[in-house]
Amino acid sequence: MNTTIMLFLLQDGITNGAIYALLGLALVLVFAVTRVILIPQGEFVTYGALTYASLAAGQMPGTAKLALALGIGAFAFDLFAARKALHGRLILRSIVANIVLPAIVLALTVYFAAQKPPVAVCIALSLVIVAMIGLFLYRIAFQPLAHTSVLVLLIASVGVHLALQGLGLLFFGAEGQRGPAVLSGSFTAGALRFTGQSITVYGITIAFIVGLWLFFGLTLYGKALRATAVNRLGARLAGIRTTLSGQIAFLLASVIGALSGIMIVPITTLYYDSGFLIGLKGFVAAIIGGLVSYPLTAVAALFVGIVEAFSSFYASNYKEVIVFMLLIPVLLLRSLAAPAVEEEKD
Amino acid sequence: MQSRLPILVFALLMAAIPFVPGMPPFWIVLLDNIGLAALVAMGLVLLTGVGGLTSFGQAAFVGFGAYTTAVLSTTYGLSPWLTLPLSLLVSGLLAVLLGLVTVRLSGHYLPLGTLAWGLGLFYLFSKLEFLGRNDGISAIPPLSIGAFKMLSPGSIYYAIWVAVIVSALLTMNLLDSRTGRAIRALRRGHVAAEAFGVHTPRAKMLVFIHAAVLAGLSGWLYAHLQRAVNPTPFGAQAGIEYLFIAVVGGAGYVWGGVLGAALVVVLKEVLQSYLPLVLPGSGQVETIVFGIMLVALLQLAPGGVWPWLMSLLPERRSGKKPDTSLKLEQRPRSPGQSSVLLQVEKARKQFGGVVAVNNVSFDVQAREIVALIGPNGAGKSTTFNLITGVLSATSGSISVLGSKVDKAPPQEIVKLGISRTFQHVKLVPDMTVLENVAIGAHLRGHSGPISSMLRLDRADEARLLAEAARQIERVGLGDQMHQLAGSLSLGQQRIVEIARALCVDPMLLLLDEPAAGLRHMEKQRLASLLRDLRDGGMSVLLVEHDMGFVMNLADRIVVLDFGTKIAEGTPATIKTNPEVIKAYLGVAA
């Protein structure tokens, strides 16, 4: 192999790895705060990507309608949960957040979709739509199960994944789509060619990692989220609304997912079911990071991306086998390094 | 455990179904599929619901079973009946290999680890040349007996359901045995089970292999039902689906696995065939509805459908009292009885910079009740954990009957005749008092998993249960013997722990706050029980906060404060010791 190929593979791996890093961060975040292993993370990616691509192609994405439908569902759950102490302000707030907001976004989407909007508008709309879907999903599917075991939450998460994937086929069809580049243009440095798109990917990933770091280290909400992650009951006793923490976690995860999707879709063709595998690789990174450490997850994600790039060059048949089997030695090392501690489960 | 009548009725019912006139052949196909899924789910019930080990990888074991027989019966022309043991063996051996890596993983690493190798193996199946890559292997010979070939779904139906019912019986037998109790204790953490000699990694490995072999059996049947295999049904999606079959049915119950399989297979079929009529349109409407129904079901019945159904039936707790005339062999005593049972010398335990136990020395003689007292955080429970091998001392030594046991694990300590109770009760709440107490006698029984499955363990089991019943009556809980341990008051649960510790046939009993939560009369009864035990030749070391209780009972008292021993002596001298008064009441007193 010559240096050019190696550099090229490395670059490819780092671009993919950056995406996996973002997804891994989101998975760690959601798991730590809500104990949900977020399998539908992959659907946030495809929804974001395909909504963006549809809008850019001047088509009306079905996800905007889904957001409104889920909003109505969330409103119903709110009403049911508060049925013993209903009062006007609460109902009003719930209506505004769950129905009026998605309805406005739907109207905007319908308006813009007809006239091939500029890239920035497509990005903004896609992000808002997927963020609302994530938020409402938490309200409908996971908040009522917040007290149950990790296993039950996991199975619910699988249920949500199946439903979303089916809806994805309904909205976007079986055809793959590509979107326009977020940042066009390119430059070359030595033998390597950097596209505007890959620079965007690096930039946004770094911005997010720094942003999350600042958010968790410096803001009150960030600290509340960390407190919820450490001890749910203790956080509640200290006056932290754990429901709010869950909402923030899901909001961040869906925005990160959608953003990752928007960044990949100009590079690779995405199908309605591509998200699952992409999400799983973020997962591999998150596990290597131990589901707790953000920096370790980011490093692991880059590693996963590079391993994937090299194995697709040398043994493309066994690319997936190698990526997933990578976990076994890592897990082994982890379990040897940290012997099992007593867990009180029920 | 339960009567066998419902199972017999179920078996006869299943045997009769193909003879119902006008039975659509398609229903038989569905029943075949239910049986295949039920086998895998049953293994998961044991692994996940009972043992607490969540696995996404079961589909891969189905694949091992199916591919083994596919390769051997096509390429090498072996008879399917010969490949059956080989399929099970391959699944079992690979379970040992994968288990060595995964079973040690703690918490959430375990399910994620299984997901990882589940995915990896799926891609391996679809890439390997000798497994036919993505096309798989076709023209697998059918099962046959003599000239009778099981070509139709109706003929292999019996093979599948015999496998399901026999596996269910074996699995239930296993759960209702010495090994089964060890498995059922796993989900509640290791410490309690290990304190009574259960080798928890081995128990976990056992359920892992059991589940893998059941999955392999399902794969073997699948290969000969379809007579073709390809990688698709052994992927991660299938692994996830098996898991939710178990959860939907009720992950703690063998029949929950069968019920879950029936529900999920039928539901999917109904959705696939009727939904397009209601909602015409493209694509995977059934997947959407299926996913939504799954979430709804979990919100309505998070415990699964089977326990919910059972709770509708009138409760009948079959309380047959074990025959207490059966005697269990005494634990072998080590020769050379020295009068010092336990010698703690300069034991020290540091957690980072915190010194929890600071060079503490004391001993316990034969036929003596020693109390370890001190304010909260004095290091009493840590001392207990050092003695019983849960923690290992940073420095210093601990000897039992003159021999050092510093690095011995809990399983070895209990063999020496030291048994304990816990400050925070560690019982299995969904097991009866009798079963919980019988865990204490774990090391005094001998039956292994195979003999338990085949019910060859009954004589051994009867002796264990007799011993447990005797100890329960000794502590005065005879009336609660068949109640679930979780339904007792906290005070009674502490007494159950004492009965469990007595089942070890110990020479030294360590009790961590036994009187907490007891009423006055109960405390008096406990005190007189402990005196009886001492007069019978046993020694007791107890941690307790109730001074009235301690002062009237103990022969000797050791006082700790901030990890350091500050006094030792008879109750009378301790009461007047100025250091002790200072530690408890502050300087001014």
Q: What's the rounded Cα separation, in Å, for the pair A157 and A141?
A: 8
What is the arithmetic mean of pLDDT over A157-177? 87
Q: Do B48 and A340 touch (CB under 8 A)?
A: no
- Window from B182-191, B306-315, B390-399, B561-570 with minimum mean pLDDT: B306-315
What is the arithmetic mean of pLDDT over A238-245? 83
Tell me the shortest Cα–Cα distance from B240 to chain A, in angstroms.
8
| DSSP letter for each residue of B112-165 | HHHHHHHHHHHHHHHH-GGGTGGG-EE-PPPEEETTEEE-SHHHHHHHHHHHHH
Confidence of residue B511 (pLDDT cuts 50, 70, 90): very high
Q: In this predicted complex, what is the ipTM?
A: 0.83
Radius of gyration of chain B (CA): 28
- Window from B78-87, B131-140, B460-469 with minimum mean pLDDT: B131-140
Residue B583 one-letter amino acid: A
State the pairing for strand pair B418-420/B508-512.
parallel
Provide, as residue numbers in chain A, all residues whose Cβ is less than 8 Å from the Cβ of B409.
Answer: none
Identify the pLDDT of residue B69: 92
Radius of gyration of chain A (CA): 21
| In the predicted structure, residue A346 carries a pLDDT above the cut 50 | no
Chain B, residues 94-123, CB within 8 A of chain A, namely 101-102, 104-109, 111-113, 115-117, 119-120, 123
Residue B432, beta-bridge partner list: B484
Report the phi/psi class of residue A116: left, alpha or beta, with left for phi > 0 and alpha for psi in -120 to 50.
left
Q: Do B291 and A160 touch (CB under 8 A)?
A: yes
Query: What is the enclosing helix (H) or strand (E) of A104?
Result: helix A101-113
| In the predicted structure, residue A341 carries a pLDDT above the cut 60 | no
Structure tokens at B43: 């293994």
Among B120, B240, B283, select the one facing A166 at the smallest CB separation.
B283
Of the two residues A345 and B488, the one the predictor is more confident about is: B488
- Window from A5-9, B315-319, B503-507, B553-557 with minimum mean pLDDT: B315-319
Contact A172, A272 (CB under 8 A): yes
Provide, as residue numbers in chain B, all residues whose Cβ is less than 8 Å from the Cβ of A165.
Answer: 284, 287
| Residues B393-431 pLDDT 10s | 888 889 888 888 888 888 888 988 899 999 888 998 888
Tell me the shortest Cα–Cα distance from B123 to chain A, in angstroms.
6
Residue B198 one-letter amino acid: V
Provide, as residue numbers in chain B, all residues whose Cβ is less than 8 Å from the Cβ of A160.
Answer: 291, 295
SS (H, E, C) B35-101: HHHHHHHHHHHHHHHHCCCCCCCHHHHHHHHHHHHHHHHHCCCCCHHHHHHHHHHHHHHHHHHHHHH
Q: What's the rounded Cα separation, in Å, for the pair B24 and B372?
A: 73
Neighbours of A207 (CB within 10 A): 10
What is the arithmetic mean of pLDDT over B252-271? 89
Query: Which chain A residue shows the shortest CA-CA distance from B97?
Result: A328
User: Reduced to 3 states, what is the DSSP secondary structure of residue B491?
Assistant: helix
Q: What's the rounded Cα separation, in Å, for the pair B178 and B186?
A: 13
Query: Which chain B residue shows the shortest CA-CA distance from A315?
Result: B127
Confidence of residue B279 (pLDDT cuts 50, 70, 90): low
Query: Which chain B residue shows the shortest CA-CA distance from A337?
Result: B105
Provide, as residue numbers in chain A, all residues whose Cβ is less than 8 Å from the Cβ of B48.
Answer: 151
Q: Do A169 and B240 touch (CB under 8 A)?
A: no
Structure tokens at B328: 């269990």
Identify the pLDDT of residue B555: 92
pTM of the predicted protein model: 0.82
Query: Which chain B residue shows the shortest CA-CA distance from A286?
Result: B112
Residues listed for chain B: 589
Identify the pLDDT of residue A344: 39
Tell me the shortest Cα–Cα distance from A132 to chain B, in angstroms.
18
Q: Do B113 and A327 touch (CB under 8 A)?
A: yes
Structure tokens at B481: 């013997």
